[in-house]
């Protein structure tokens, strides 16, 4: 995501009611620094945090990005397993403690909220965990995070680990214990809940379970487990569960990372009943096969609300019902796009409206602009696409190209007209709603000169959606190249 998209999602996370947002790694790039800084200074509710290694320059970058924000903190980490210490960092345990203490002390001079993570904690010696955690608490750490970095542990083991540390770490009753679980064995949510049983009061998780490799613990699953089984866990969160569906869909639209239909809580089939036995039971009493209501996660029973004859006031009311705060100028632009869409479709669904709002709110820098696309294809003809485009405000001569299919022809034509040597790395399509007139959302990944990015596009015509997604990716690539050029000049 670019920084405007990150800010849009951060605002939704604030509406969702999360306590803390790790906004990025400020030292990793100028783009990440800008994103962390913008989110930190924009939000007034959740604590905004920058991730840092136990390196002075990382700590300073995080501080410089967030200092002056309403509510902020620093999250620093170092590996604690002997495997990581020996093979990755090439240091011993004593050196790891020294580095950790130095980093916490440096960060604590500027912020009262300092989180320290023991990377690969679940494969670390428990006695060493007690030792290093006690040392950083003495140095000023306020949150101790014990990640299952490679998704290795089991629920029983992680409960035992947290219970021991809660009993043996110095001043354990004065700090927050946090869990951060990966999903390599499909146990991230189960392990997170087990950590809570062991004494963790902060859970690090992600919408839709996105993350490194097999992903992280899914926020929506943890929240609803605590809602539905509140009596069992004896814990609750400040999360507004009715914002879960909206948050999930926004993330999907911004990243193009689709959610499988049978995904718990936010999947398309999460509240669908196909079995006759299940349908009969639900019709008699929903509690027979539903342990939560669709409304509890923000899913309207019937979201068919607007059409081509709907006015601006009705659209504005529905946009606000969906949780978005929009100004008068913004609603004018959204309404214009809504009318264009309504002319193509009989009805406009909530998902369509959310896509319009998200697309309208993200500021785009456009080097390339698609003006027209014409495609010729058939069972006995060679797929051919002709495009007209604009580059830096200048009209390019029309260009045609062939391909294995109509979409391939369209993308080949766009690639050739702008002279790009990029390689396609990902192509995915999802319909936003049901029906043959549904908007299709296309996500395209590209690589060029060692850089990688992705683009998204949506339209009722999947060919046009694909072309839009490719042009979006090309525009993002130009921004990346420009940023890389500026960094190289600065280095020289």
Q: Per-residue pLDDT tens for 268-314?
A: 888 876 666 766 776 778 778 789 988 899 886 544 457 777 787 87
User: For position 413, which CATH number holds?
Assistant: 3.30.160.270
pLDDT in tens, 232-279: 999 999 999 999 999 998 998 888 788 888 999 999 888 876 666 766
Q: What percent of the chain has pLDDT over 70?
A: 93
Domain-located, residue 269: no
Query: Are 294 and 195 in a shared domain?
Result: no
User: What does the pLDDT look like over 100-145, one tens digit per residue?
Assistant: 999 999 999 999 999 999 999 999 999 999 999 999 999 999 999 9
Inside any domain, residue 262: no
The answer to whether residues 84 and 228 belong to one domain is yes
Do 35 and 56 lie in one domain? The reply is yes
Same domain, 171 and 147: yes
* The most confident of 170-179, 302-311, 320-329, 340-349, by mean pLDDT: 170-179
Tally of structural domains, the chain: 3
Question: Does 350 or 118 have the greater pLDDT score?
Answer: 118
Among 255, 286, 307, identify where a domain stops.
255
Domain limit, last residue, from 197, 220, 255: 255
Q: Residue 372 domain-assigned?
A: yes
Does residue 350 sit in the same domain as residue 473? no
Q: Does the pTM of the predicted model rise above 0.75?
A: yes
Residue 346 has pLDDT above 70, yes or no: no
Question: Which residue intervals of 345-405 are DSSP H helices?
Answer: 350-361
User: Are 215 and 285 found together in one domain?
Assistant: no
Which of 334, 361, 388 lies at the terminal end of a domain, its last residue? 361
Do 250 and 285 fall within a single domain?
A: no
Nearest CA to 183 among 159, 136, 231, 147?
147
Evaluate whether residue 468 is within a structural domain. yes
Q: Are 85 and 100 in contact (CB under 8 A)?
A: no
Indicate the Cα dihedral angle 308, 313, 316, 322, nearest 10°.
-80
Predicted local confidence at residue 304, as pLDDT: 42
In a domain, 270, yes or no: no
Whole-number Cα distances in Å, 417 to 62, 121, 153, 215, 491: 42, 52, 52, 38, 33
Does one domain contain both 474 and 393? yes
- Whether residue 266 lies inside any domain: the answer is no
Task: In whole angstroms, give the CA distance from residue 387 to residue 370.
Answer: 8
Please answer whether residues 75 and 100 qualify as being in contact, where contact means their C-beta atoms are separated by less than 8 angstroms.
no
Check whether residue 221 and residue 242 sit in a common domain: yes
pLDDT the model gives residue 350? 73
> Which structural domain range is residue 346 located in?
276-361
Is 229 found in the same domain as 99? yes
Based on the fold, state whether residues 330 and 402 are members of the same structural domain. no
Q: At what angle do helices 3-16 and 350-361 cross, to 10 degrees?
A: 130
| Whole-number average pLDDT of the chain | 90
Q: Are residues 374 and 356 in the same domain?
A: no
Q: Which two tokens stand for residue 193?
A: 């809940």
239 found inside a domain: yes
DSSP summary character for residue 85: I
CATH of the domain at 207: 3.20.20.70
Q: What is the pLDDT of residues 402-451, one digit of tens each?
A: 999 999 999 999 999 999 999 999 998 888 777 777 788 899 999 998 88
Q: Is residue 344 in some structural domain?
A: yes
Assess whether pLDDT exceeds 50 at residue 214: yes
What is the C-alpha separation between 178 and 115, in angstroms, rounded? Answer: 9
């Amino acid at each position: 995501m670019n920084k405007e998209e990150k800010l849009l999602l951060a605002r939704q996370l604030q509406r969702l009611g999360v306590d803390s947002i790790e906004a990025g790694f400020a030292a990793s790039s100028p783009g990440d620094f800008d994103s962390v800084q913008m989110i930190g200074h924009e939000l007034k509710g959740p604590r905004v945090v920058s991730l840092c290694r136990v390196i002075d320059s990382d700590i300073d970058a995080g501080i410089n990005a967030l200092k002056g924000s309403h509510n902020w903190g620093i999250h620093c980490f170092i590996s604690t397993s002997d495997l990581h210490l020996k093979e990755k960092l090439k240091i011993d345990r004593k050196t790891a403690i020294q580095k950790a203490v130095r980093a916490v002390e440096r960060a604590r001079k500027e912020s009262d909220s300092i989180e320290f993570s023991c990377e690969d904690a679940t494969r670390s010696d428990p006695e060493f965990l007690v030792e290093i955690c006690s040392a950083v608490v003495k140095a000023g750490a306020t949150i101790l995070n014990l990640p299952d970095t490679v998704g290795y542990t089991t629920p029983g083991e992680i409960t035992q680990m947290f219970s021991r540390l809660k009993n043996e770490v110095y001043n354990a009753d004065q700090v927050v214990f946090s869990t951060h679980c990966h999903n390599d064995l499909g146990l991230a949510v189960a392990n997170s809940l087990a950590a809570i049983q062991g004494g963790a009061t902060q859970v690090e998780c992600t919408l839709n379970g996105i993350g490194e490799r097999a992903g992280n613990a899914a926020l929506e699953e943890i929240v609803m487990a605590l809602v539905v089984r509140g009596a069992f866990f004896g814990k609750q969160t400040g999360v507004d569960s009715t914002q879960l569906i909206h948050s999930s869909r926004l993330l999907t639209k911004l990243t193009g990372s689709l959610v499988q239909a049978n995904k718990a809580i936010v999947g398309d089939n999460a509240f669908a009943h196909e079995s006759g036995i299940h349908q009969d039971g639900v019709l008699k009493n929903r509690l027979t096969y539903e342990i939560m209501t669709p409304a509890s996660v923000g899913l309207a029973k019937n979201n068919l609300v607007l059409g081509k004859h709907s006015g601006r006031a009705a659209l504005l009311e529905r946009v606000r019902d969906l949780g978005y705060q929009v100004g008068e100028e913004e609603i004018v632009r959204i309404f214009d796009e809504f009318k264009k869409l309504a002319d193509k479709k009989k009805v406009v669904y909530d998902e369509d409206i959310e896509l319009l709002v998200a697309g309208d709110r993200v500021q785009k820098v456009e080097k390339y602009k698609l003006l027209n696309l014409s495609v010729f294809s058939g069972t006995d003809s060679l797929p051919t696409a002709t495009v007209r485009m604009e580059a830096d405000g200048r009209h390019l001569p029309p260009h045609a190209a062939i391909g294995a299919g109509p979409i391939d022809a369209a993308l080949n034509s766009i690639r050739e007209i702008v002279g790009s040597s990029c390689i396609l790395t990902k192509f995915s399509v999802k319909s936003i709603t049901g029906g043959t007139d549904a908007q299709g959302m296309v996500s395209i990944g590209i690589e060029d000169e060692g850089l990688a990015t992705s683009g998204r596009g949506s339209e009722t015509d999947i060919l046009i959606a694909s072309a839009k997604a490719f042009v979006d990716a090309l525009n993002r690539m130009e921004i990346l190249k420009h940023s890389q050029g500026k960094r190289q000049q600065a280095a020289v």
